[in-house]
Structure 1
Amino acid sequence: MPIVSGISTPIAMESRVADRAPRLTVEQAYEHCARLVRSHYENFTVASRLTPKSKLPHVSAIYAWCRTVDDLGDEAVPDQHDPAEFGQSATRALVTEHRLERLAWWEEELDTAYGGQPAHPVTIALQHTIAEFGIPREPFLRLIHANRMDQGSGRVQNFGDLLHYCEHSANPVGHLYLYLFGYDDAERQRLSDFTCTGLQLTNFWQDVARDYQDRDRIYLPLDDMERFGVNESNIASGIAIDAFRSLLRHECERAMDLFARGAPLVPKLDRSSRLPVALFTRGGTAMLDAIKKRNYDVLSGRPALSSRRKTWLLLSTLLSVKLGMGYRLPARGGKA
């Protein structure tokens, strides 16, 4: 992100104030989570329509917790961090130190959710959700660790390193969702991991330019870049040379393979939890298709799905789930 003195995102700023506010009741805490996600994350409006009403407060609590930890790792900045005063290098060090401190505080708050008195409204709600569904601590800890990993160089050496990152940044979210619907078995978690990793990779390939420009991060494996003849200056130029297009095609095919391996999860879920998972898969493969239609040029512009396309995906997925058709990936090269 650009380092600008005195600017932070709403959630990152809120996390520094809410932990000092008077403790809320559980009901007030859930409402706080619902307001937070509604006001900052437009996709949650759609997700809420797909979620059983009894589960919605718990989904709000987990979503708010996950987004907060991501914002602390990506956006939190100290009050004084002006590059003109401290220098660019020293400023980055200050920002990194501050984010690590805030992540340590958030982990302490998580500890209180498993045997104490949380101070933050999100953690108050989360404590109730944890007790209600018997959710273990490990998925939350992995998400915190992923954000600590983000404070490093912003580079990954190989695809194995990238998968390791996704094991912490993406896969825990799928496990948390499964816990909310009563699934704690290894097989469903394994299939969920394929889907969640596919979604994370798709997001990375969609945002290659933005991640580099705004956060100085490159999630393309460095050894793949070398093998295809791509370097950082190619990404910085904003021009998708043939070598870059070939590289991104290779990475998109890896993501599609992961969606194919995770697709059998959908029929293994009850209908109340099947629709969002099927929609995530269809949305991810549709985005890969959108990237392909741009001939893998994600540098000159960010691929996106039109409102019409999103509506079609929602309605067609809803129909297939209602008819018990499950979800089958298209043939390679077809539409999602």
Structure 2
Amino acid sequence: MPVDHYENFPVASLLLPKRLRRPVEAIYRFARAADDIADEGDATDAQRLQGLAEFAEALDRIERGEHPAQADFAELAAVIHAWRLPVALFRDLLDAFAQDVVTRRYADYPQLLDYCRRSANPVGRLLLHLVGRADAENLRRSDCICTALQLVNFWQDIAIDWQKERVYLPQADLERFGIGEAQIAAGCRSAEWAALLAFETGRTRRLMNEGAPLVHQLPGRMAWEIRLTVQGGLRILERIERVRGDVFAQRPVLGVRDWLRIGGRALRM
């Protein structure tokens, strides 16, 4: 289950306590590999769904205490058992990735949030289980952060997703701002498009800020990891807003100067 993709946000970085790096890497490796099955290469939809079904079968074996048939899952099985992680959260990820294979449009914001609940929130919840802080309020704030990060990625990757025939902007929002998909295809730079992206980034920022107090409930290094992650997401939103939503000319990414600013802001959280 290789992990070789560009990531905006740190994964199992040096800020994490050494004892957590192995389980965090196992979680991200599973998520990244399953996402690749749903999203990469030239497989048919049926082949993608079959690949995800094989991952689900491996989870079933792990939950029963059996040795997974696939050698790649041995490390994940060891981590799940050692840390008593809820297997249901891994199943949620697979469910979201399977949805990605067959669903390419979202009617409204609640429908998009439901996707994020399964595609992003499980990772944050698993991290809280690793540090023994999975109470109701922490889980809620973690969900806010993870959903916001997923939305940041959607707004950042509008042009990339269009090439994959996917539109994560809710259809109701496109209609509200008078945007048709032909305008996305043409790399829309209108005032209406700028207003739409300002609306989406503003809503995403509020969600991120709602979750941000979670950092004060986390132990040492983990808290710093999440501080940087939150500030990284907020910085991407700023970059999108600075170009008035023009994510077509150049995908907004973080550079060295951004990370210096992110570090300073993380100190003040």
TM (normalized to structure 2)?
0.94
Structure 2 equivalent of residue 53 of structure 1: 18
User: Given the alignment, which residue of 180, 185, 193 partners 1:236?
Assistant: 185
Structure 2 equivalent of residue 296 of structure 1: 245
User: Given the alignment, which residue of 262, 270, 273 partners 2:211?
Assistant: 262
Paired with 1:287 and 1:279, the residues of 2 have a C-alpha distance of 12
User: Given the alignment, which residue of 37, 40, 49 partners 1:100?
Assistant: 49
Cα deviation for residue 218 of structure 1 reads 0.3
AA paired with 2:75? A
Q: SS of the residue aligned with 1:230?
A: coil
Paired with 2:133 and 2:148, the residues of 1 have a C-alpha distance of 21
**Conservation of the 8 A alpha-carbon contact between 2:17 and 2:221:** yes
Paired with 1:186 and 1:96, the residues of 2 have a C-alpha distance of 37
Q: SS of the residue aligned with 2:254?
A: coil
Cα deviation for residue 251 of structure 1 reads 0.6
Correspondence 1:1-336 to 2 at 5 A: 36-37=2-3, 39-40=4-5, 47-78=12-43, 95-114=44-63, 115-213=65-163, 215-314=164-263, 317=266, 320=267, 327=269
Paired with 1:186 and 1:71, the residues of 2 have a C-alpha distance of 31
**Conservation of the 8 A alpha-carbon contact between 2:23 and 2:79:** yes
Paired with 1:141 and 1:292, the residues of 2 have a C-alpha distance of 35
Paired with 1:45 and 1:243, the residues of 2 have a C-alpha distance of 34
**Conservation of the 8 A alpha-carbon contact between 1:207 and 1:298:** yes
AA paired with 1:197? T
Q: SS of the residue aligned with 1:305?
A: coil
Q: SS of the residue aligned with 2:128?
A: helix
Call closer, same or farther: CA 1:46–1:108 in 2, change over 3 Å.
Answer: closer
Cα deviation for residue 159 of structure 1 reads 0.4
Cα deviation for residue 104 of structure 1 reads 0.4
Paired with 2:167 and 2:78, the residues of 1 have a C-alpha distance of 38
| Paired-residue identity, % | 40
AA paired with 1:248? L
* Residue correspondences, number: 268
Q: SS of the residue aligned with 2:13?
A: helix
TM (normalized to structure 1)?
0.76
Q: SS of the residue aligned with 1:150?
A: helix
**Conservation of the 8 A alpha-carbon contact between 1:103 and 1:148:** yes
**Conservation of the 8 A alpha-carbon contact between 1:130 and 1:136:** yes
Paired with 1:97 and 1:63, the residues of 2 have a C-alpha distance of 24
Cα deviation for residue 182 of structure 1 reads 1.6
AA paired with 1:221? P
Paired with 1:160 and 1:236, the residues of 2 have a C-alpha distance of 25
Paired with 1:169 and 1:73, the residues of 2 have a C-alpha distance of 12
**Conservation of the 8 A alpha-carbon contact between 1:240 and 1:300:** no
Query: Runs of 5+ in structure 2 lacking a partner?
Result: none
Call closer, same or farther: CA 1:150–1:98 in 2, change over 3 Å.
Answer: same
If asked which structure has higher relative contact order (CA below 8 Å, sep 6+), I would say 2
**Conservation of the 8 A alpha-carbon contact between 1:107 and 1:141:** yes
Query: Runs of 5+ in structure 1 lacking a partner?
Result: 1-10, 12-35, 79-94, 328-336
Mark the structure with the bigger radius of gyration: 1
**Conservation of the 8 A alpha-carbon contact between 2:145 and 2:212:** yes
